Amino acid sequence: METMDKIDSVLIEERPAPRVALLRLHRPKQLNALNLALRHALAEAFTRLEADAEVRVIVLAGSDRAFCAGADLNEYVDASAPEVAARHMGRLWDAIAQCRKPVLAAVRGFALGGGFELAQHADIIVASESARFGQPEVTIGLMPGGGATQRLPQTIGKFRAMQLLLTGETFTAAQALGFGMLSEVQPDDLVEPRAIALATQIAAGPAVATQLIKEAVLAANSQPLAQGLQLERRLFQLLFATDDKTEGIRARLEKRPAVFD
């Protein structure tokens, strides 16, 4: 396994499997709270990995105590509105949201506020049985600023989203799974191995098809059904120009495993 420290060690990059990059939030004393240094490190890492042909899947992870406990409030307590606006947080979030490659989140411990929003940027979330989730911003006089007011209603519906956002209450991994917020729940010690195994399986698949599936699914949240179906048909047709299509079909007809580039 190759490991590289990034930007004052607030973010550690690992290569746990072929074509898989793991980004580990590394502010253990602060329960991996998002300060500006960590936000910039994440944006830089996603931008770089997006362009890295050797990486096909990205895994986000934290520590056993916390995936991410939210924003670092020390950087907010005395901040003014113009100061917060000048931080251009949208650009930092967009570097993650606009990543074309599949993103998995391996969540152990707390995933609160901006930490839960970070997990919501993933395409697959594997959580530990002891994980705790919530959007508690309202309890300190704020509201989510990383997309939760938009993503949660799409995921769990208006009424449950309103309850969680307006009360700021936390909830368990079992509850989150029941709400439809998670892909699966695993014992604490199996969360990262399971996320890496899923990432490895996806990374071994056809890269173009994988990216186009993600593009089509995400588009479903921002356009009418008719336009989404048109997009799906266009992307489906494009895949007939790939070698992976030919290899995949021939392998199925020949009853052997496909080997994609």
* 169: annotated active-site residue: no
Which residue of the set 17, 61, 69, 71 is catalytic? Answer: 71
* 137: annotated active-site residue: yes
* 168: annotated active-site residue: no
Polymer length of the chain = 261
Which residue of the set 69, 137, 146, 192 is catalytic? Answer: 137
Question: Do 108 and 191 touch, CB atoms closer than 8 A?
Answer: yes
- Angle between helical axes of 243-253 and 207-219 (0-180°, round to 10): 110
What is the residue type of 28? Answer: P
Which residue of the set 113, 114, 115, 134 is catalytic? Answer: 114
Which residue of the set 17, 41, 66, 117 is catalytic? Answer: 117
* 75: annotated active-site residue: no
Q: Rounded to 10 degrees, what is the CA torsion of 249, 250, 253, 255?
A: -110
Question: Do 2 and 14 touch, CB atoms closer than 8 A?
Answer: yes
Phi and psi based region of residue 110 (left: phi greater than 0; alpha: psi -120 to 50; beta: remaining): beta
Burial of 79 (0-12, 13-18, 19+ CB in 10 A): middle
Positions annotated as catalytic residues are: 71, 114, 117, 137
